[in-house]
C-alpha cells in the first residue's frame, strides 16, 4: 500500500487535517517540454515530498536544502518570503513520467494527487506531391501521419480556406502506443490551388503541416462528336466505293459477254454467207468411189447395179458409180426402168491412171 495513502488515512481517522492544494489537477505537456505543479500550504509545515508514478523523486524541507533523486526533478519556493508556496518541475518530460503525481505534506495535511499527460508529435506528409490535373477533374489527396500520441487532429486548407475532409482513419502502432492516421480530401480542380494538411495536438504550439501545389490545365475540346461524324462519313464513303466497284466489275463483265456474243454472231453470219456464195455453173463435188491408193496395180471391173453397188468382173478396170448421176437417173427414168424390167442394168466404166 502507498505510504502517502497510509498517512492520509491516519490523518483522516484522527480528525486532524490541514489544508493545502496542488495546481493544476491535470497537466498536459508535449514530449521534451517541462511540466510544472504548484503546492500551496496554509499554516505551518515541516517537510513536503513529491512522488511520480509511485516513486519518491524529491523532498522539500521548509528550512534547509532540497534533495532530488535526479536532475530531471526540481523544486523551489514561489518567493523568498512566502514558504507556503512550492513549485515542483519535471524537466524534459517523456511518456514514462505520464500518470499520477502526488504531493504529501507531513503533519496534519495529508496528500494531493494530480495527473500528468504527455503527448508526442510525429510526422505528417501528403503522399501525392505536386501534380498537374485537367480542369474540372476530381482530385483525391491523401495525408498520412505517423507516430503520434494521441491521435492528432487533422484539417485541410485549400488556398488558405479551411475545407471539410470527412472522417479521419487511424491505426494503432503496437510499439510505444503510438498512432498512425490518414485523411483523404476530394475536391474538383477549377484553378491552380495550394493544399495544406495540418496535424496538431493540444500541446503543440505550432501545428505540423505538409503542402502540395495542384496545377490545373485547360480541358481539351471534346472530339467525340467529331470522331463519330468522321467515322460515319468514312464508313459511307467506303460503302459507296464498294458499291461502285461492284457495279463497275458487273458492267465490265456484261460488256465482255456482249462482245463475245456479238463476235460469235458475226462469225456465224460470215460462215453462212461464205457457204451460200458459189460460182455460177459449179456443181457439187461427188465422191470418187474408184480411188485407188498409189502402188496398187491390179484393178477389177465391177458392174454397177441399180442399188449403186459394184459387181466385180474379170477386167482390170473398176466401174465407178457416179452418185449424182445415179440419183438423177433414178429420179428421171425410174418409170422407164420399171417398164423394161428389172434385168436391165446400166454400165459405166471408169479408168484410173
Highest mean pLDDT out of 11-20, 49-58, 235-244: 49-58
Domain at 3-119, CATH homologous superfamily: Immunoglobulins (2.60.40.10)
Supply the DSSP string of 268-286, one letter for each residue. Answer: HHHHHHHHH---TTPPPP-
Q: What confidence score (pLDDT) does residue 123 get?
A: 94
Strand 153-158 relative to strand 161-163: parallel, antiparallel, unpaired? Answer: antiparallel
Which sequence spans correspond to the domains of the chain? 3-119, 123-217, 289-353
Q: What confidence score (pLDDT) does residue 288 get?
A: 52
User: Are both 3-119 and 123-217 of the same fold?
Assistant: yes
Q: What confidence score (pLDDT) does residue 64 get?
A: 82
Residue 155: which residues within 8 A CB-CB, separation 6 or more? 162, 165, 197, 198, 200
Q: Which tens digits make up the pLDDT trace of 46-104?
A: 999 999 999 999 999 988 889 999 999 999 999 888 788 999 999 999 999 999 999 99
Topology annotation, domain 123-217:
Immunoglobulin-like (2.60.40)
For the question of whether the overall pTM of this predicted structure is more than 0.85, the answer is no
Q: Which tens digits make up the pLDDT trace of 182-225?
A: 999 998 999 999 999 999 999 999 999 999 999 999 988 777 77
Q: Which tens digits make up the pLDDT trace of 249-270?
A: 888 888 777 777 777 787 787 7
What percent of the chain has pLDDT above 90?
44
3-state secondary structure of 291: coil
Query: Quick check: 281 pLDDT over 60?
Result: no
Unique residue bearing C-alpha cell 453470219: 269
Query: Quick check: 16 pLDDT over 70?
Result: no
Query: Quick check: 310 pLDDT over 80?
Result: no
Lowest mean pLDDT among 171-180, 244-253, 313-322: 313-322
Mean pLDDT (whole number) for 261-280? 71
Q: Which tens digits make up the pLDDT trace of 201-212?
A: 999 999 999 999
Residue 124: which residues within 8 A CB-CB, separation 6 or more? 143, 144, 145, 152, 154, 197, 198, 199, 208, 209, 210
Q: Are 303 and 313 in contact, with CB atoms under 8 Å apart?
A: yes
Mean pLDDT (whole number) for 312-333? 46
Amino acid at each position: 500500500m502507498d505510504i502517502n495513502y497510509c498517512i492520509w488515512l491516519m490523518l483522516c481517522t484522527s480528525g486532524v487535517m490541514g489544508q493545502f492544494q496542488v495546481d493544476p489537477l491535470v497537466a498536459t505537456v508535449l514530449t521534451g517540454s517541462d511540466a510544472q505543479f504548484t503546492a500551496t500550504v496554509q499554516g505551518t509545515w515541516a517537510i513536503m515530498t513529491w512522488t511520480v508514478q509511485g516513486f519518491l523523486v524529491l523532498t522539500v524541507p521548509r528550512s534547509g536544502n532540497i534533495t532530488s533523486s535526479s536532475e530531471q526533478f526540481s523544486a523551489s519556493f514561489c518567493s523568498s518570503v512566502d514558504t507556503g508556496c512550492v513549485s515542483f518541475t519535471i524537466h524534459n518530460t517523456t511518456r514514462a513520467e505520464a500518470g499520477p503525481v502526488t504531493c504529501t505534506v507531513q503533519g496534519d495535511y495529508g496528500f494531493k494527487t494530480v495527473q500528468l499527460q504527455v503527448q508526442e508529435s510525429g510526422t505528417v506528409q501528403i503522399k501525392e506531391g505536386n501534380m498537374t490535373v485537367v480542369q474540372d477533374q476530381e482530385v483525391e489527396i491523401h495525408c498520412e501521419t505517423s507516430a503520434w500520441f494521441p491521435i492528432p487532429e487533422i484539417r485541410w486548407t485549400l488556398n488558405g480556406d479551411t475545407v471539410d475532409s470527412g472522417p479521419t482513419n487511424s491505426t494503432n502502432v503496437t510499439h510505444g502506443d503510438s498512432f498512425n492516421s490518414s485523411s483523404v480530401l476530394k475536391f474538383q480542380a477549377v484553378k491552380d490551388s495550394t493544399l495544406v494538411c495540418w496535424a496538431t495536438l493540444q500541446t503543440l504550439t505550432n501545428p505540423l503541416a505538409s503542402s502540395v501545389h495542384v496545377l490545373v490545365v485547360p480541358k481539351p475540346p471534346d472530339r467525340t462528336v467529331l470522331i463519330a461524324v468522321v467515322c460515319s462519313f468514312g464508313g459511307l464513303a467506303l460503302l459507296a466505293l464498294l458499291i461502285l466497284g461492284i457495279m463497275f466489275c458487273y458492267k465490265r463483265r456484261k460488256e465482255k459477254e456482249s462482245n463475245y456474243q456479238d463476235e460469235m454472231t458475226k462469225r456465224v453470219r460470215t460462215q453462212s454467207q461464205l457457204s451460200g456464195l458459189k460460182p455460177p455453173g459449179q456443181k457439187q463435188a461427188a465422191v470418187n468411189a474408184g480411188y485407188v491408193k498409189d502402188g496398187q496395180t491390179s484393178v477389177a471391173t465391177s458392174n454397177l447395179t441399180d442399188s449403186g453397188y459394184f459387181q466385180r468382173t474379170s477386167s482390170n478396170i473398176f466401174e465407178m458409180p457416179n452418185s449424182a448421176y445415179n440419183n438423177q437417173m433414178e429420179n428421171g427414168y425410174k418409170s422407164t426402168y420399171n417398164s423394161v424390167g428389172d434385168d436391165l442394168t446400166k454400165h459405166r466404166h471408169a479408168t484410173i491412171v
